[in-house]
């Protein structure tokens, strides 16, 4: 029997609903329950794949190849588990399913209507995703006042009737502003949010109050009277130093036991927060600081710089820092500035390490290539991610192999040395396979080279998928089996997530290797094409790049080995 916890937001969006949901899930996990989480995005887009990152933050990639809103990333980072793409529900998906069914004559001539068909499809999706779990958390994106949330709130209300009130709880997350000219925390917007939720037929069981500061007893009582719930169930969630402290803070209010009590459940085990707490304290207390230059393409939105488009990399760096007890400070450097100004390049000497993150298009590329050269020549730890690896190949080809105008065909279609290219077989294969359109999306297997640094790092982290049964299980699924490709051996295998179109061109690999570039991991596609996944320079302090996005597989207590190794080397 699955129990449901529905979380909706009032007042304003962007108050950290996602991390609160993830924190509640983490708490329930610590009490011994298995938990999953669903994110509802009320927009009409089918998924986040086509959304502009500057508007919506980074696109999160799931193991099964979904391009999803960042919140699923938060769930994974807290719950340390794979969350599949079906756990993201958008209005677009709901309507598409229904219209496709209607066109296929599946409704047998009936009138297809907003009610009951839309809420029914929403509930069907939720039930499918929650199968086999003790708890399913459902986060409704945006706020309860949004028109587009009407069908989802309706569905959440009727779910209660279907499964029984003892199996579902509603959380309202609000924000309590402290206007500077008054200097007092105001509860009125929260009262209005409670009223608005009530109008949809849902009464909250818990209210989580986000604010700059903790909520005092007077205000808790005020909300108690207004919402008609015990002030014990009005939970204070003030701003804090790191999001990973939220579950610890919520547990100070005994939220886990309160939830279990409402469901008439007893804890299955005693929570063990020691390791988690140690990492959180390390983030908060450490004195040693490591400075990382993140050289990418940044867009200013009005007066603000949008660093959210690399949120998973920031998180992965923080995870590594927390486990090595250093504070990782990330500085955002616009690669276009490096293109124009020589001094900007020299400035990179002041950093302990350099990262070139993923990206698309020609803008700022020459600056990134200059940066890579600088890191290579000055023995500064370097980590290249996706585009970062492709450009490291371009740099090496140009400056070491003397292929003067070497490039990726994404930037220059007419180069004499297309060291990064769309492979001729690729377009056709992608079309046939249906998996991922023209992009390579999701977790692909790579085999790591003996004696390589990359292998060492994955081995130390216990991340090798060397268990034959585990690999066989993955093969059961046709789509996953496609991503495993051909495995030469059940040894030194890793899985990392991908989101790209271009590959290292096999024609140039012998020449690059001859000059000392080590490709330390590769994937063998079902049609036997070898795709390069990792590269390294053995003589360098730390020069590693990957075609994958390892930042999507990093959690607070289980940092990704590449980020861990990189920070260690920076120290």
Q: Spell out the long-range contacts of 185-191 with Cβ–Cβ below 8 A and sequence spacing 24 or more.
A: 185/211, 185/213, 185/215, 185/216, 185/219, 187/219, 187/222, 187/223, 187/226, 189/10, 189/11, 190/10, 190/11, 190/223, 190/226, 191/223, 191/226, 191/227
Using CA atoms, how far residue 237 sits from 254, 279, 405, in Å, is 13, 20, 55
Q: Which of these is catalytic: 279, 386, 401, 570?
A: 386
Binding of ligand GLN by 501 (CB under 6 A): yes
Taking the complex as a whole, how short is the minimal distance between the CB of residue 419 and ligand GLN, in angstroms?
A: 13
User: Which of these segments, 150-158, 218-226, 325-333, 493-501, binds ligand GLN (CB under 6 A)?
Assistant: 493-501
Torsion of CA 388, 393, 395, 398, to 10 degrees: -160
Binding mask 291-330 for ligand GLN (x = CB under 6 A): ----------------------------------------
User: Which of these segments, 59-67, 248-256, 358-366, 465-473, binds ligand GLN (CB under 6 A)?
Assistant: 358-366
Binding of ligand GLN by 499 (CB under 6 A): yes
Taking the complex as a whole, how short is the minimal distance between the CB of residue 356 and ligand GLN, in angstroms?
A: 9
User: Which of these segments, 3-11, 266-274, 342-350, 355-363, binds ligand GLN (CB under 6 A)?
Assistant: 355-363
Binding of ligand GLN by 77 (CB under 6 A): no
386 belongs to the catalytic site: yes
Q: Which of these is catalytic: 136, 279, 551, 570?
A: 551
DSSP strand pairing (543-546 vs 382-385):
parallel
- 505: DSSP letter: -
CB nearer ligand GLN, residue 512 or residue 531: 531
Among 148, 122, 7, residue whose Cα is nearest residue 75: 7
Buried b / exposed e over 125-157, threshold 16 CB at 10 Å, is bbeebbeebbbbbbbbbbbbeeeebebbbbbbb
Chain centroid, CA 94 distance in Å: 23
Binding of ligand GLN by 244 (CB under 6 A): no
What is the rounded distance in angstroms from the CA atom of residue 275 to the CA atom of residue 152?
A: 37
Binding of ligand GLN by 18 (CB under 6 A): no
Binding of ligand GLN by 511 (CB under 6 A): no
User: Which of these segments, 59-67, 83-91, 205-213, 498-506, binds ligand GLN (CB under 6 A)?
Assistant: 498-506
Taking the complex as a whole, how short is the minimal distance between the CB of residue 463 and ligand GLN, in angstroms?
A: 21
Whether the Cβ atoms of residue 544 and residue 384 lie closer than 8 Å to each other: yes
User: Which of these segments, 93-101, 129-137, 141-149, 352-360, binds ligand GLN (CB under 6 A)?
Assistant: 352-360
Among 133, 185, 243, residue whose Cα is nearest residue 11: 185
Binding mask 405-424 for ligand GLN (x = CB under 6 A): -----x--------------
Out of 60, 387, 564, 566, which residue is the one contacting ligand GLN (CB under 6 A)? 387
Out of 42, 358, 381, 561, which residue is the one contacting ligand GLN (CB under 6 A)? 358
Buried b / exposed e over 478-509, threshold 16 CB at 10 Å, is eebebbbbeeeeeebbbbbbbbbbbbbbeebb
CB nearer ligand GLN, residue 67 or residue 410: 410
Q: Which residue is nearest to ligand GLN, using beta carbons?
A: 358
Contacts with ligand GLN, residue ranges (CB under 6 A): 358-360, 386-387, 410, 499-502
Active-site residue list: 386, 549, 551
């Amino acid at each position: 029997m699955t129990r449901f916890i529905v979380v909706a937001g009032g007042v304003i969006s962007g108050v950290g609903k996602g991390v609160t949901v993830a924190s509640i899930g983490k708490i329930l996990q610590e009490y011994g329950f298995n938990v999953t989480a669903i994110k509802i995005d009320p927009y009409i887009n089918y998924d986040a794949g086509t959304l502009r990152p500057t508007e919506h933050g980074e696109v999160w990639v799931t193991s099964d190849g979904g391009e999803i809103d960042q919140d699923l990333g938060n769930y994974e980072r807290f719950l340390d588990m794979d969350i599949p793409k079906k756990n993201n529900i958008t209005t677009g998906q709901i309507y598409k399913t229904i219209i496709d069914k209607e066109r296929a004559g599946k409704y047998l001539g009936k009138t297809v209507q907003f009610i009951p068909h839309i809420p029914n499809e929403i509930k069907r999706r939720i039930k499918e995703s929650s199968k086999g779990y003790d708890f399913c958390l459902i986060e409704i994106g945006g706020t309860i006042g949004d028109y587009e949330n009407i069908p989802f709130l309706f569905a959440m209300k009727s779910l209660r009737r279907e499964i029984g009130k003892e199996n579902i709880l509603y959380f309202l997350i609000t924000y309590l502003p402290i206007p500077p000219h008054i200097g007092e925390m105001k509860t009125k917007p929260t009262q209005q949010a409670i009223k608005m939720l009530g109008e949809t037929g849902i009464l909250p069981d818990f209210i989580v109050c986000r604010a700059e500061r903790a909520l005092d007893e007077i205000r808790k009582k005020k909300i108690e009277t207004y919402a008609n719930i015990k002030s014990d169930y009005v939970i204070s969630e003030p701003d804090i130093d790191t999001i990973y402290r939220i579950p610890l803070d919520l547990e100070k209010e005994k939220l886990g036991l309160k939830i279990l009590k409402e469901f008439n459940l007893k804890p299955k085990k005693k929570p063990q927060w020691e390791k988690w707490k140690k990492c959180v304290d390390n983030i908060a207390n450490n004195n040693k600081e490591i400075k990382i230059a993140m050289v990418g393409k940044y867009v200013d939105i009005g007066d603000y710089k949008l660093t959210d488009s690399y949120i998973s990399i920031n998180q992965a760096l923080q995870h590594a820092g927390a486990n090595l007890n250093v504070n990782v400070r990330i500085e955002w450097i616009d690669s276009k500035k490096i293109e124009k100004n020589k001094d900007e390049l020299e400035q990179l000497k002041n950093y302990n390490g350099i990262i070139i993150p993923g990206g698309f298009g020609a803008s700022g590329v020459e600056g990134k290539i200059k940066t890579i050269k600088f890191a290579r020549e000055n023995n500064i730890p370097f980590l290249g991610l996706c585009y970062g690896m492709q450009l490291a190949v371009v740099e090496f080809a140009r400056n070491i192999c003397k292929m003067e105008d070497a490039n990726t065909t994404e930037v220059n279609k007419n180069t004499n040395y297309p060291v990064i290219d769309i492979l001729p077989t690729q377009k056709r294969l992608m079309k046939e396979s249906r998996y991922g359109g023209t992009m390579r999306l999701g977790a692909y297997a790579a085999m790591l080279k003996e004696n390589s640094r990359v292998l060492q790092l994955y081995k130390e982290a216990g991340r090798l998928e060397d268990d034959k049964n585990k690999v066989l299980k993955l093969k059961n699924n046709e789509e996953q089996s496609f991503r495993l490709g051909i495995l030469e051996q059940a040894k030194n295998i890793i899985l990392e997530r991908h989101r790209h179109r271009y590959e290292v061109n096999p024609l140039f690999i012998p020449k690059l290797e001859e000059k000392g570039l080590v490709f330390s991991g590769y994937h063998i596609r079902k049609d036997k094409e070898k795709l390069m996944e990792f590269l390294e320079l053995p003589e360098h302090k730390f020069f590693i790049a990957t075609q994958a996005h390892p930042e999507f597989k990093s959690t607070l207590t289980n940092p990704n080995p590449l980020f861990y190794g990189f920070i260690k080397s920076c120290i």
